[in-house]
Amino acid sequence: MDKSTISVGDSVVLSNCSNFDGGYTECLWDFGDGKSEFSNGTDVIKHQYNTLGQFEVKLTIGEKENSSVVSKAIIVK
């Protein structure tokens, strides 16, 4: 993620959805604002926030049994 604090109407750019062995797999980005997007690991995802608040962006990598989740807070001022 390129920022953790942004202004209303700004976008975050998300990338590097690789699994731990360096390969790419299907990934789910949950933006914390009711919207989500799948990527194949090589995509660069851009998401715009139009509401004030704090949102938790979650990235789920892999299948249900073997998935990993990481998250980061985005503050929209």
User: Could you tell me what percent of the chain has a pLDDT over 90?
Assistant: 47
Q: For the chain, list the domains and their CATH numbers.
A: 5-76 (2.60.40.10)
Q: Is the pLDDT of residue 65 over 90?
A: no
pLDDT at 21: 59
pLDDT at 23: 59
Predicted model pTM: 0.81
Query: What is the tens place of the pLDDT at every residue in 10-44?
Result: 999 887 676 555 555 678 899 999 999 988 777 78
Concatenated DSSP letters for 2-71? Answer: --SEE-TT-EEEE---B-TTS-B--EEEE-SSS-EEEE-SS--EEEE--S-EEEEEEEEES-STT-EEEE
